[in-house]
Amino acid sequence: MIKAIRKKGIAFITTLIFMMTMAVMVASFLDISTGETREMKGRIDIGRAFWFGEAGLRKAEWMIITPVDEGGGGFDYLTNGTTETLDEGSYTYTVEKPQGNPKSRVITSVGTYEFQTYTVKQEFDLE
């Protein structure tokens, strides 16, 4: 009778250890897959922030090359920061005239999507 109770106790402890090991493995797997999902979302958000930055860059180029009478700013267009919001993101661009080269402009655009930002910078020659 005592041997039967010991066998049941050993089986119970073995089952308990096995179940705890499986629970730890499942929890680890869930943690890893959740982390990978979060990382992938971050990469997608950075990509979207990049495209918002590019949109700001293209808008600044359009403002420079489009005459004032057609809605643009013309070749003398400069700005310390213009922000536009599109759907879920936005961009802010600046247009500056570098010293020593009056026929050039430096455009800096910062795209923002959720909590990610991406900065794009380009030198633009007017000739």
pLDDT in tens, 99-122: 888 889 999 999 999 989 999 999
Average pLDDT, the chain: 88
Determine if the pTM surpasses 0.85.
Answer: no
DSSP assignment, residue 28?
A: H
Q: CB under 8 Å to 53, separation ≥6 — which residues?
A: 91, 109, 110, 111, 118, 119, 120
pLDDT of residue 2: 58
> Which amino acid appears at position 29 of this protein?
F
CA–CA distance, 119 with 94 (Å, rounded to integer): 11
Residue 6 banded pLDDT, cuts 50, 70, 90: low
Interval 46-73: pLDDT, tens: 999 999 999 999 999 999 999 999 999 9
Furthest-apart CA atoms within the chain: distance in Å = 103
CA–CA distance, 118 with 109 (Å, rounded to integer): 8
Query: Per residue in 76-89, is it b (16+ CB within 10 Å) or e — as a string?
Result: ebeeeebeeeeeeb
Which two tokens mark 61? 């180029």
pLDDT of residue 3: 61
Region 32-57 average pLDDT: 88
DSSP assignment, residue 85?
A: E
